[in-house]
Every structure is written in structure tokens, then in C-alpha cells.
């Protein structure tokens, strides 16, 4: 078994608060891995560490077989990554094409390759009519699409996607799902966080669940589901009762009259 991502006791503190607590990830190459957890569970912090944006407080991490704590090995790993980070991190005063050109040159891609791939990506993600606008003028969904284009541009071996479908229209969402499915089918790896469990259930082959900074379960999708739905398994693993009734008394007419 060849691993795309492997961590040992990976930990991150923010002052006295432990955001990620000794997690042991094992993500096989060629899998579509869904990384799930409630808000504040440590998902985005984990991605930031794995992509070199945030130093861990303790532990080890290997990405594409390279030690991310070694600057030279980390740089080589990053050449083979595509990332959609939580905060997108686009440049406000670059157009879409300028931004893609910038990303391509960082990856040392030939200009002709950057140009042809940018043409395809802008068309695929329905940004071809908006490519001359500054990204400052883009809606949140358009920024998500441009970030996806930038992540795919260097044809990476590993994609980190932090909530890639948030704010994206249904048509583009379908296009992205098809592209990602093809990406994994050719042997590349996707590491995805999403709160939309339907998407995770449709796309992912393996799932890890993090709760309060701890990796509480990690297995194939079929094993995680245990013959039921992913939603029920996730709620149970995360400590929620899927049968519990949630209601507002004032909507039920039970609120006392003034």
C-alpha cells in the first residue's frame, strides 16, 4: 500500500487550545478521501499543516512520500500539489487569466502550456466571459471556481480541497464532480473537506472523521456507513443523536403568552 498522506501524532496548539490532537492519517494514493468533522473540529488546520501553510506543534507528516518538516522535501512535494484553501487567497487586482499565469509560472510551467490549459479551465468553469475582470469584482462562487482552476492547472498528483462546492452553482458543481472523478480514476489523490454529506457519499472512497481535534474513525466509505447512510454514521460518530428532535417552542405554539 502506497500512501499519499501519512501522519504520526500530528498536533497543533493555538496558545493553550489544542486544535489537532495527535492524529494518525493514512491516505492511500489513488483514493478520494473525505475528511469530515463538525465546525471547529480541526479540518482546515490539518489541511494547512499538510500543505505547509502552518507548522505543527508536534508530530510528523509525509506527503507524497516527502517529509513536510524538511524545507527542501516540502518544496518538492508542493510542486505536485493543488490546493483550494479555506480563505481562497486570491489576488484582488489580477484578472483570472493573470492569476492562472502567475500560478503556472510558480510551478515552472511553459507559457504555451499555461495558456492552453487556462483556456480549457476558464471555459470548463464558465469563467471565459469574466476573465478580464479583477478577482476583486468576483462573487464568492466565481472565486471558488477560479481557485479550482488554479488548483487543477499544474495537473497535480494530490488535490487538497477545503469546501470546494460552497457557493458554486449546480451546473458547475456537476462539472467539478465529473472532473474530480476522472482525476482520481487516473490514479491521483483527492483530500476533500465538505459539510455536504451527499457530495462526500457520492464521490469519496474513503472517509476520516475528526472530532474536537481527534481522528475518531478512518476507513473505506462502505465501512464507515455500516450498511446505513453516511449522515447517520457521521452523526453517531460525532456524538450527536440522529433521532433527536430539534424544535423551537415558539414555532410550535408552546411559548407562554406575554
Sign of CA dihedral 232, 165, 65, 31: positive
Kind plus residue range of the DSSP H or E element containing 43? helix 43-50
- What local confidence, expressed as pLDDT, does residue 250 receive? 73
14 φ, ψ to 5°? -120, 105
What is the per-residue pLDDT for 241? 62
Are 192 and 181 in contact by the 8 Å Cβ rule? The answer is no
pLDDT at 222: 93
Note down pLDDT in tens along the chain; length 258 residues: 799 999 999 999 999 999 999 999 999 999 999 999 998 999 999 999 999 999 999 999 999 999 999 999 999 999 999 998 877 778 999 999 999 999 999 999 999 999 999 999 999 999 999 888 999 999 888 898 999 999 999 999 999 998 888 888 888 888 888 889 989 999 999 999 988 888 899 999 999 999 999 999 999 999 999 888 898 888 888 876 655 656 777 777 655 555
Task: Tell me the domain boundaries of the chain.
Answer: 3-237
Here the cell at position 31 is: 483514493
Strands 158-162 and 189-193: parallel
Per-residue pLDDT, 253: 65
Q: Quick one: residue 108, left, alpha or beta (phi over 0 = left, psi -120 to 50 = alpha)? A: left
Neighbour tally for 100: CB within 10 Å: 25
CA distance 13 to 35: 20
DSSP class of residue 91 equals -
CATH class of 3-237: alpha beta
pLDDT at 85: 83
The pLDDT of residue 176: 87
Amino acid at each position: 500500500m502506497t500512501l499519499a498522506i501519512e501522519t504520526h501524532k500530528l498536533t497543533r496548539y493555538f496558545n493553550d487550545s489544542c486544535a489537532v490532537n495527535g492524529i494518525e492519517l493514512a491516505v492511500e494514493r489513488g483514493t478520494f478521501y473525505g475528511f469530515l468533522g463538525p465546525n471547529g473540529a480541526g479540518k482546515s488546520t490539518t489541511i494547512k499543516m499538510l500543505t505547509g501553510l502552518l507548522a505543527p506543534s508536534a508530530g510528523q507528516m509525509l506527503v507524497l512520500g516527502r517529509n513536510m518538516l524538511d524545507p527542501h522535501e516540502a518544496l518538492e512535494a508542493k510542486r505536485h500539489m493543488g490546493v483550494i484553501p479555506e480563505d481562497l487567497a486570491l489576488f484582488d487586482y489580477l484578472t483570472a487569466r493573470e492569476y492562472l499565469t502567475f500560478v503556472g509560472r510558480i510551478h515552472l510551467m511553459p507559457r504555451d502550456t499555461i495558456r492552453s490549459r487556462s483556456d480549457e479551465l476558464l471555459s470548463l468553469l464558465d469563467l471565459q466571459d469574466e476573465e478580464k475582470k479583477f478577482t476583486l469584482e468576483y462573487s464568492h462562487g466565481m472565486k471558488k471556481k477560479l481557485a479550482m482552476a488554479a488548483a487543477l492547472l499544474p495537473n497535480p498528483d494530490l488535490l487538497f480541497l477545503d469546501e470546494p462546492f460552497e457557493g458554486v452553482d449546480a451546473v458547475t458543481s456537476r462539472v467539478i464532480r465529473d472532473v474530480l472523478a476522472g482525476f482520481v480514476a487516473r490514479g491521483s489523490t483527492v483530500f476533500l473537506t465538505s459539510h455536504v454529506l451527499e457530495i462526500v457519499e457520492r464521490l469519496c472512497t474513503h472517509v476520516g472523521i475528526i472530532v474536537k481535534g481527534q481522528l475518531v474513525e478512518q476507513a473505506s466509505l462502505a465501512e464507515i456507513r455500516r450498511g446505513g447512510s453516511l449522515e447517520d454514521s457521521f452523526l453517531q460518530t460525532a456524538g450527536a443523536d440522529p433521532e433527536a428532535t430539534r424544535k423551537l417552542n415558539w414555532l410550535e405554539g408552546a411559548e407562554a403568552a406575554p
